[in-house]
């Protein structure tokens, strides 16, 4: 099992969520986060002066998926979330040792 953490543009969230739901990966946790990667040159105006902004709003989507579908999910997120411009975000994939469903105490792939 794999854990996928995708950091994406907030404006792209609806599209990505719909695409994942359509493909059958509806379960996800979503957090609003702030951060920055290599993106620069973004500025905001406050009290009539223009300032650099260090941290930008992003959305983090977390999914747990079975090994064999991991690539499809990642490719879906990339194809829907890509604009080609700096600031599109990143996807982190890591290994999960186990998953439990609290309601039924199932574990493994069937608990996802």
Instruction: DSSP for 64-81, please give it.
Output: EE-GGGHHHHHHHHHHHH
- How far apart are the C-alpha atoms of 36 and 56, rounded to whole Å? 6
Among positions 38, 68, 84, 95, the unique one binding other proteins when judged by CB under 8 A: 84
Compute φ and ψ for 52, nearest 5 degrees: -70, 145
- Measured from the CB of residue 2, what is the shortest distance to other proteins in angstroms? 24
How many residues at the interface with other proteins, by CB under 8 A? Answer: 30
Q: Is 32 in the site for other proteins (CB under 8 A)?
A: yes
Among positions 34, 67, 90, 107, the unique one binding other proteins when judged by CB under 8 A: 34
Contact status, residue 96 vs residue 4, Cβ threshold 8 Å:
no
Among positions 43, 75, 107, 110, the unique one binding other proteins when judged by CB under 8 A: 43
């Amino acid at each position: 099992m794999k854990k996928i953490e995708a950091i994406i543009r907030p404006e792209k969230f609806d599209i990505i969520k719909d695409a994942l739901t359509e493909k059958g990966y509806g379960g996800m946790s979503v957090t609003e986060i702030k951060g920055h990667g290599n993106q620069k040159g973004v500025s905001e105006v406050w009290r009539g002066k223009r300032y650099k902004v260090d941290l930008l709003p992003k959305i983090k989507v977390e999914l747990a998926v079975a090994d064999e579908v991991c690539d499809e999910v990642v490719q879906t997120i990339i194809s829907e979330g890509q604009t080609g411009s700096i600031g599109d975000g990143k996807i982190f994939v890591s290994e999960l040792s186990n998953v439990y469903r609290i309601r039924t105490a199932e574990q493994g792939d069937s608990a996802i």
